[in-house]
Structure 1
Amino acid sequence: MVLRKLTGSAKSRHQLSETLREKGFSESVIGAVLDRLEEVQLIDDAAFARMWVRTRHETRGLGRAALRRELKDRGIAEALAEEALEQLSVADEDAMARELIGKRLRGVALPAGHDAAARKERDRQTRRLVSMLARRGHSPGAAFQLVREALEDHTAEGMP
């Protein structure tokens, strides 16, 4: 059963132990099975964490905070999670955030004026974009700065 779980995708030791617990296995059996799987390198929480960070960042655009939360939910030790998160640089996170912002701004017409209606629309877009980045685990300060820059560029280009 544990090998079947590992066939679909990599799992952390914690995830597998939860599966075995749900099936009613004793703690001694769970420990022995998982120790053996680690011994033959079928379970490796450090490798799992590195792979998780890389793929979730690339496919979902998640930032450090969201990735840290997800690793914790999967039972990855804090030290292993931090080690895996080190592979993401600030430049990587910023590039991903810019890409996400760019996707959201495609086809959005922003008013270029300084009147109340134009400011209101830019503020609304700023809130939406910063919130989207925050939900994906990007730092609020960096998110606000990147959104402001993107909106300035978008307005200056006069892109619809």
Structure 2
Amino acid sequence: MEWTSTDQQSTITKVELQKKNKHRFNIYLNEEFAFAIHEDIMIKHHLFKGTIIDAARMIDIMQEEEQHSAYLAGVLYLGRGPRSEKEVRRKLKEKGYEGECSDKAIDRLKEHRYIDDNAFAKQWADHRVNFGRKGRNFVRQELAAKGLGKNEIAGAMESIDEDDEYEGALALGAKKWRSASGEYIDKKRKTMGYLLRRGYVQGVVNRVIREVSQQTLEESGFDD
């Protein structure tokens, strides 16, 4: 439906629930289909049969509808798993939401605590160290790639339990040591390289090497 002037008024003559989306309604002005709207925006602006609206109000409603749609897209994306702000912005852009629309949706998601980069960084670090068996260097690179800032990354690094990190490195190191072929020096080189590639710092790697090599000596009966 086209508007010829900003003060032109039209009357809502029909409100129709969409068949494929029970939260969206089709709005008819002067017996013609005009636009579709989410029920939240419809109720907020009292867009019911008989309501009279003008072009200026219509523009405001359409802008708010777009922002609400962006917000719901963000909620849906975050419902599949925790995300950083940068990841959410990228997803909204893919769906065509940018600029002020995206900014307001992000602000609303933050307000409702759906986006919290500090909490996300710590949660990601804990999961990767304990279940992904990754060292802090690897986790730091992942967080940077997800758009986390220096402060958020620093907080996540501080939250990593050093004992948990070492236990993960030791489990991986022991397994790699047993499967590595060659003499002691070969096993050491291969195990160290493997752990360093998984992001463990040199101090943790050295500690693991000392432990697994000592275990090998004890198992061989040469520790006396």
Q: Under a length normalisation based on structure 1, what TM-score does the superposition of the two structures give? A: 0.83
The ranges of structure 1 where at least 4 consecutive aligned residues each deviate by more than 6 angstroms after the TM superposition are: none
1:151 equivalenced with 2:213 (yes/no): yes
Taking the aligned partners of 2:212 and 2:198, their CA distance within structure 1 comes to 18
1:131 equivalenced with 2:193 (yes/no): yes
Q: 2:100 aligns with which of 28, 32, 36?
A: 28
Q: 1:109 to 1:56 in 2, by over 3 A?
A: closer
- Offset of residue 109 of structure 1: 8.7
| Aligned residue in 2 for 1:11 | 83
1:99 equivalenced with 2:165 (yes/no): no
Quick check: 1:126–1:148 contact (8 Å CA) kept in 2?
A: no
SS of corresponding position for 1:86: helix
Query: Given residue 196 of structure 2, which amino acid in structure 1 is its aligned partner?
Result: A
Q: 1:56 aligns with which of 112, 128, 145?
A: 128
Q: Which runs of 5+ in 1 are unaligned?
A: 111-119
If you compute each CA radius of gyration, which structure gives the higher value, 1 or 2? 2
- Offset of residue 156 of structure 1: 2.5
Taking the aligned partners of 1:13 and 1:109, their CA distance within structure 2 comes to 42
Structure number having the greater helix percentage: 1
Q: Which runs of 5+ in 2 are unaligned?
A: 1-72
User: 1:24-55 CA distances to partner (integer Å, 9 max, x unpaired)?
Assistant: 22221111100000001111111111110111
| Aligned residue in 2 for 1:72 | 144
Quick check: 1:126–1:144 contact (8 Å CA) kept in 2?
A: no
Identity value in percent = 29
Q: 2:116 aligns with which of 11, 28, 44?
A: 44
Taking the aligned partners of 1:109 and 1:99, their CA distance within structure 2 comes to 14
Q: Which has the higher contact order (CA 8 A, sep 6+)?
A: 1
Query: Given residue 47 of structure 1, which amino acid in structure 2 is its aligned partner?
Result: A
User: 1:74-121 CA distances to partner (integer Å, 9 max, x unpaired)?
Assistant: 111111111111122433322221121123345x598xxxxxxxxx52
SS of corresponding position for 2:114: coil
Q: 1:109 to 1:12 in 2, by over 3 A?
A: closer
Taking the aligned partners of 1:19 and 1:154, their CA distance within structure 2 comes to 50
Q: Under a length normalisation based on structure 2, what TM-score does the superposition of the two structures give? A: 0.61
Task: Indicate the larger mover: 139-148 or 35-44.
Answer: 139-148
Q: 1:121 aligns with which of 157, 175, 183?
A: 183
Structure number having the greater strand percentage: 2
Quick check: 2:129–2:164 contact (8 Å CA) kept in 1?
A: no
Query: Given residue 77 of structure 1, which amino acid in structure 2 is its aligned partner?
Result: G
